Amino acid sequence: MDFATLASQFFIGLSRGMIFFIVSAGLTLIFGVLRITNFAHGALYMVGAFIAYSVSTLFGQGPYGFWLALLVAPIAVMFISLVIERGLLRFIYNRDHLIQMLLTYSLVLIAGDLVKIIWGTEYKSMHIPEALRGSFNLWGASLPWYNAFLLVVGPVVALGLWFFLSKTNLGKICRATATDREMVDVLGINSTKVFAMVFALGGWLAGLGGALIAPTTTISMGMDASIIIYAFLIVVVGGLGNIWGALISSIIMGVGEAFGILFIPGVAIIIPYIIAGVLLILRPSGLLKSAW
């Protein structure tokens, strides 16, 4: 086990952490502002991957297909989220966690079968675009270009979210809603609009995560079930509603998992659960301060 292997595994874990972050940032935003435990987030991620596949296939898996998919899939998922929020979620904001959770879980079940009806059950795969194929040398270790690309996208998304939340008016309203919803209402701000927008943004992030993961994996039913648990763990470990907490715990999970694969390949699957369990036991309310 030389340094190069460790370094390349570290970067692969880090890039996987970026996907985790993009997905769980949406989840934690929704948590923080809407106070909804959105099980359907994984389903939106899966739908994003399938739409990305379809868009890319439409262009014969050519060079433009991927970039167009990356643009279209998140927006499509964003619109789906908007319909879900306006059509269903807004009726259950005052209910308790179990009811909200089960409502979003019903969407998981429905989405699963709808995907099966629309795209069929066979595994799908999508090509990595020409420009991002192959790998390059980094301190003697080889790192695939696509992972390097993810390492760029992740921070860009994080920066964008930071700018949105702390520099724009709307973002400030979002944070205010997360802290004290009633006060925001009292100030005469239409929190309904904020809720719809945040849920749509969360959906966009889930779709983006799905579109980004699509070329690196087989796109299949059930990819929602595994990501949603990871995303939940990341969000809770990071502190509910705290995006930076989600970033930190995404990186811990991604890198932890990558090293797990390197050192104990047989049981690497249990690493994220162990990390989450230990962190939750050590810091029951999350790494960073939760939004509420």
Q: How far is the CB of 86 from other proteins (least distance, A)?
A: 14
Binding range to other proteins, per CB under 8 A, among 15-23, 89-97, 211-219, 244-252? 89-97
Q: How far apart are CA 161 and CA 159, in angstroms?
A: 5
Q: Is 9 in the site for other proteins (CB under 8 A)?
A: no
Structure tokens that stand for 242 in this block: 């705290």
Burial environment of residue 291 by CB neighbours within 10 A (0 to 12, 13 to 18, 19 or more): buried
| Sequence-ordered list of residues with C-beta below 8 angstroms from that of 45, at least 6 positions apart, any chain | 23, 206, 207, 209, 210, 213, 223, 224, 227, 228
Does 192 bind other proteins (CB under 8 A)? Our answer is: no
Assess 233 for contact with other proteins (CB under 8 A): yes
Residue whose entry in the numeric block shows the structure tokens 């400030």:
172
Question: Which of 98, 167, 169, 182 contacts other proteins by CB under 8 A?
Answer: 98
Nearest CB to other proteins, comparing residues 1 and 281: 281
151-158: long-range contacts at Cβ-Cβ below 8 A with a sequence spacing of 24 or more? 151/11, 151/14, 151/15, 151/18, 153/18, 153/22, 153/212, 154/15, 154/17, 154/18, 154/19, 154/21, 154/22, 155/18, 157/21, 157/22, 157/25, 157/205, 157/208, 158/21, 158/25, 158/243, 158/247
Residues 247 and 238: their CA atoms lie apart, in Å, by 8
Q: Which segments within 131-228 are labelled E, that is strand?
A: 135-138, 141-144
Question: Among 45-53, 58-66, 114-122, 246-254, which window interacts with other proteins (CB under 8 A)?
Answer: 114-122
Among 276, 287, 288, 291, the residue binding other proteins under the rule CB under 8 A is 276
Q: Which of 240, 252, 287, 291 binds other proteins (CB under 8 A)?
A: 240
d(CA 46, CA 76): 12
Q: Are strands 141-144 and 135-138 parallel, antiparallel or unpaired?
A: antiparallel
In the complex, least distance from residue 139 CB atom to other proteins, rounded to whole angstroms: 32
Question: Which of 169, 186 has the CB closer to other proteins?
Answer: 186
Size of the site for other proteins (CB under 8 A): 42
Residue from the set 130, 170, 270, 289 that interacts with other proteins by CB under 8 A:
270
Nearer to other proteins, 154 or 260 (CB): 260
Q: Which is nearer to other proteins, 170 or 269 (CB)?
A: 269
Q: Would you count residue 118 as binding other proteins (CB under 8 A)? A: no
C-alpha to C-alpha distance for 79 and 290, rounded to whole angstroms: 28
CB-nearer residue toward other proteins: 146 or 230: 230
Q: Under the criterion CB under 8 A, does residue 92 sit at the interface with other proteins?
A: yes
Smallest separation, CB 166 to other proteins (Å): 24
Binding site for other proteins (CB under 8 A): 37, 88, 91-92, 95-99, 101-103, 105-110, 112-114, 116-117, 225, 229, 232-233, 236, 240, 266-267, 269-270, 273-274, 276-277, 280-281, 284-285, 292
